[in-house]
Structure 1
Amino acid sequence: MLTPTPTIEKPSNLVAFAFLLIAFLTGIASSFQLPTLSLFLTQEIQVSPAMVGYFYAINAIIGIGLSQILAKYSDKMIDRRKVILYCCVLAIGGCLVFAFNRNYYWLILLGTTLLGLGSSANPQSFALAREYADNTGKESVMFSTIMRTQISLAWIVGPPLSFSIALNWGFDWMYSIAGLAFLFCGLIAVTLLPKVPRKKMEQNTPLQAPSNNQKSVIYLFITVFMIFNCNGMYLINMPLYIIHELHLPAELAGTLMGTAAGLEIPIMLLGGYLTQYFSKKALIFTALWAGFLFYLGLLFFQNTWQLVLLQFFNAIFIGIIATLGMLYFQDLMPRQAGAATTLFSNAAKLSWLVAGPIAGWLAQFWHYNTVFYVSFLMIAIAMVCLMKVRTVN
C-alpha cells in the first residue's frame, strides 16, 4: 500500500531518474505495440485491411474516452502514484490478452479497453512530474522536456526491436516483453516516485480550465490536432510514396523515421531552454513554419540525401509541439495537470481517426503525395487557431 511519504524525503536525483525511466519504459511499450499492430492483425488474426482500419478507429475511440475519464478522476485523487500503478496493472492485463488471445472481437473489446486505460500511465507520469516540479521549485519546462526526450529515445530503438522480436520469436513474446515494461513502471511508481502534496482547494476545483482560458484550450486542442493529422498522414503514406512513386528502397522509410526521432531529442532540449527567452506560443509558431517547409520540400525533393535532410524540419515540427504543446495545456489549466496532459495526448490520438481515412482516400483516387498538399491547409488552420490562444508566458 502506498504511504503518504513527503516529497522532500526522496533524493531529487533519484526522483528525476525514476521519472525519466518511467517515460522511457512507457515509450518502449508503446513503440512495441503501435508499429506492429497492423502486421499482428493481418498475420496472426488474418483479418482484411478494412477490419484492420476498424480496429485502429475503435482503439482510438476507446483510448480517448477512457483516458479522459481517468484523467478527471486522477485530478481528484490525493496520491497520483496510485493512478499510475493501477494503469500499469491494467496495461499488463491488456498485453497478456494480445499475447495469448487470437480472437478479433475479444481483442477489440477487452484488449483495447485494458490498454486504453493502461496507456494513461504515461500522461499521468508527466502530470505528476509537473506537480513535483512546481512543489519543489524546480524548472518545470526543462524537466518535462527531458522526460519527453526519453520517449523519442525509446522510439529510436523500440520499433526495430519489436519487429525483430515479433518476426523471430513471435508476437506472444513481443507483447509479454511490453507487459514486462509496464510491470517495471508500476514498481518504480510505488518505490521511487514521490507523493506530491496537493492543496485541499484543488480537490474541490471544477475540472475545467479557468473561464478566461476555456476558448484558448479549445483553439490549442485544434492546433495540436491539426499538427498530428499532418504527421499521421505522412507516416501512413510516406513508405508507400517512397516505394511506389519514388522507386526507392523500402528500408529508407525506417531510416527517415529513425533520423527524425533522433533529431527530435536535441530540438526538444533546445526548445525547452528557449522558453526562458520566448513564449511557448512563439516557439510553436516556429514549429508550424518548419512544418510548412518540410511538406513543401517533400513535393520537390526526391533524392535519398534530400529526404534525409528534410527530417530536420520534420523534427522541429513534431519535436517542439510534442513537448511545449503539452506544457501549454498545463499552463492554461492550472491545478489540473492530469486532465491537461491527457487532453494533449487525446488530441494526438484523435488525429488518427481522421488521418487514416484521408490518407487512404487520397492515395486511392489521386497520389500518395497528395496528402502533402492537404497538410498545407491543416498547417494554415493550425496557425489561425494558435493566434487565438492566450499567451501565458
Structure 2
Amino acid sequence: MSNFIASMKQHAKTAWGIQGFPTIMVINIFLGISHAFILPFNSLFGIDEVGMSNTTFGIFMLVSSLCGIVLSTIIAKLSDRVPDRKFILILCSVAGIIGYLGFAYSRNYFVLLIFSSVFLGVASSTFAQVFAIGREALTRSDVPSKQVPLYMNILRTIFALSWTVGPAIASYVLLFMGFTGLFVVAATCNAVVAIIALLFLHRRSEAAGAKSEKANIPLKKIVFQPTIFINLVAFTFISAATTLSSMNMAQFVTKVLGGGKEDIGIIFSIPPVFEIPFMLGFGYMATRMKSDRLIRLGAFLALVYFCLLFFADAPWHIFSVQILSAAYISITSGIAITYFQDFLPEMPGTATNLYSNSNKVGNMIGFLLFGIIADAFGYRNVYLACAIFTLAAVVLLFGLNRAKSASNQVSVSG
C-alpha cells in the first residue's frame, strides 16, 4: 500500500508537469461542479418548478438528449479536423453559459426546450473536448503509452471529486437562492472554463491539413467497425441498467424494503466515497494489464451488483453492495474513456464522444423503460431488467474477446 501511495504521489507530480495538463485539470473541476449542480435537480426543476407532467418531462429529456447526440457528434468530428480544438472548447462553454442563463430566467416549456436542445446540446460536447485535449497533451508528453490510462483516470477522478461535494453545496444554493441561483452558478462555472481556456490553453502547432486527413473517415464507417460497434452496444446496455437502477432505488427502498429517506441518503452517499480510490487504483492497474480485461471486469461486477440488488430484503443489505457500484462505475466511466480513445488514437474527440453518446442513448433507454417495467412488473423486477442488460453486455464483451483470440490463433497458425 505504501508503494502504491508513493507511486500515485509521483504520478500526480508528473501530471502537474505536463504542458497543458494542469490547465485542463482545473477546467475539469469547474466543468464537474456545473454538472454536479444541475443533474441531480433536473426532474425537480422540470416537474416542480416549471410544472411539467411526468410525460412532458420525459419528452423534454428525450428531445434534448437526441439533439445533444446529433450536435455533439457534429462538433466532435469538426474538432478532429481543425488544428486547434481550444476554440471548440470555448464555443461549447459559451453555449453552456447561454443555455444555463436561459434556464435561470425562463419557465416557459418551449423556450426551455430550445435552450436545452440547442445551446445545452452544443455544451454537451464540453466533456468530450476536455478529455480529448487531455489525451493530446499526454500524447505530446514523455509519458509512456502504457501509463496514459492512469493519467486519464486522474483527470476523470478530478471530475468525480466535484460530485462528492457539488450536490450538497447545490442543495444549499437551491434553498437560499432558488433555481435561478443554481443555474447562474452553473453558467458562471462555464464562463470560468471559457476564460481559463482562452487565457491559459496553448494553441497547437499541428498543420490543419495533416489533422483533417487523419479525421476524414465517415462516421458511419467508424461506428460500424465490429469492435467499436459491439463495445458501443455493450456500454449502452450498461448505461441503461445504471439509469434504471438510479431511478428505481428510492422507490425500491421505501415501497418494497420498507426503508426511510435516511436509508436512501446513506445508499447514495456510499459510492462517491469509494469511486475516487477505485478510479486511481484501476488506473494504476491499467498500466500493468490491457484495458479490455478491466472493461470486462467492470461489466461482470455490474452484473453481480444488480443480481445482489434483486435479492435484497432490507435496506442495510444494499449498503455494502454499493461498494460494487463504485467499482464498476469507476471502470466504465474512467478506464472506458482511454479504452475508446485507443480505438481512434488520431481522433480523440470523436472517440470520447462515441463513449459519451453511448451513455446518453443508454440514459434515454432507461428513462423510457423505467415506468413501463416498474408499473407492469414491480420495483424489484426493475433490477432483474438491469441484470439482463448487463448480462447482455458481459456476453458481448467476452464474446468479442473470444473472437479476437480465435482470430489471432488463426493468424499465427497461418
The answer to whether the superposition gives a TM-score over 0.5 is: yes
Q: Which residue of 2 aligns with 1:171?
A: 179
What amino acid is the match of 1:388? Answer: L
Aligned equivalents of 2:300, 2:27: Cα separation in 1: 32
Determine if the alignment matches structure 1 residue 108 to structure 2 residue 113. Answer: yes
Runs of at least 4 residues off by over 6 Å: 209-213
Q: How far has the Cα of 1:13 moved from its partner?
A: 5.8
Alignment of 1:300-319 (within 5 A): 300-319=311-330
Q: Secondary structure at the match of 2:20?
A: helix
Determine if the alignment matches structure 1 residue 65 to structure 2 residue 70. Answer: yes
Aligned equivalents of 2:121, 2:349: Cα separation in 1: 16
Determine if the alignment matches structure 1 residue 203 to structure 2 residue 209. Answer: no
Alignment of 1:267-278 (within 5 A): 267-278=278-289
- One of 293, 316, 331 as aligned partner of 2:342: 331
Aligned equivalents of 1:211, 1:94: Cα separation in 2: 31
Q: How far has the Cα of 1:208 moved from its partner?
A: 5.0
Determine if the alignment matches structure 1 residue 188 to structure 2 residue 186. Answer: no
Q: How far has the Cα of 1:217 moved from its partner?
A: 0.8
Structure 1, 123-132 or 198-207: larger mean CA deviation: 198-207
Instruction: Give TM-score scaled by structure 1 length.
Output: 0.92
* Contact persistence 2:18–2:141 (CA under 8 A): no
Aligned equivalents of 1:270, 1:311: Cα separation in 2: 17
Q: How far has the Cα of 1:17 moved from its partner?
A: 2.6
Determine if the alignment matches structure 1 residue 82 to structure 2 residue 97. Answer: no
Aligned equivalents of 1:130, 1:154: Cα separation in 2: 20
Structure 1 residues 6-56: Cα deviation after superposition (integer angstroms, max 9, x where no partner)? xxxxx8367333222211211111122221111111222112111111111
What amino acid is the match of 1:336? Answer: M
What amino acid is the match of 1:218? Answer: F
Alignment of 1:1-393 (within 5 A): 12=17, 15-138=20-143, 139-198=147-206, 200-205=209-214, 206-208=216-218, 214-386=225-397, 387-388=399-400
Give the number of the structure whose residues are more often helix, by fraction.
2
Q: How far has the Cα of 1:120 moved from its partner?
A: 1.2
1:168–1:212 distance in 2 versus 1, CA, 3 Å: closer
Q: Secondary structure at the match of 2:217?
A: coil
Q: How far has the Cα of 1:253 moved from its partner?
A: 2.4
What amino acid is the match of 2:213? Answer: N
* Contact persistence 2:77–2:349 (CA under 8 A): yes
Structure 1 residues 140-186: Cα deviation after superposition (integer angstroms, max 9, x where no partner)? 21221011112211122222222332233111110000001111111
What amino acid is the match of 2:400? Answer: K
* Contact persistence 2:83–2:211 (CA under 8 A): no
What amino acid is the match of 1:124? Answer: Q
Q: Which residue of 1 aligns with 2:3?
A: none
Aligned length: 381
What amino acid is the match of 1:183? Answer: A
Aligned equivalents of 2:184, 2:222: Cα separation in 1: 45
Aligned equivalents of 1:154, 1:217: Cα separation in 2: 30
- Segments of structure 1 that go 5 or more residues without pairing to the other structure are 1-10
Aligned equivalents of 1:241, 1:180: Cα separation in 2: 37
1:212–1:366 distance in 2 versus 1, CA, 3 Å: closer
* Contact persistence 1:213–1:332 (CA under 8 A): no
1:212–1:304 distance in 2 versus 1, CA, 3 Å: closer
Q: State the superposition RMSD in angstroms.
A: 2.0
What amino acid is the match of 2:211? Answer: E
* Contact persistence 2:244–2:382 (CA under 8 A): yes
Aligned equivalents of 1:48, 1:375: Cα separation in 2: 26
- Segments of structure 2 that go 5 or more residues without pairing to the other structure are 1-15, 406-414
Q: Which residue of 2 aligns with 1:6?
A: none
Q: Secondary structure at the match of 1:35?
A: helix
Aligned equivalents of 2:316, 2:361: Cα separation in 1: 33
Instruction: Give TM-score scaled by structure 2 length.
Output: 0.87
What amino acid is the match of 1:346? Answer: N
Q: How far has the Cα of 1:129 moved from its partner?
A: 0.6
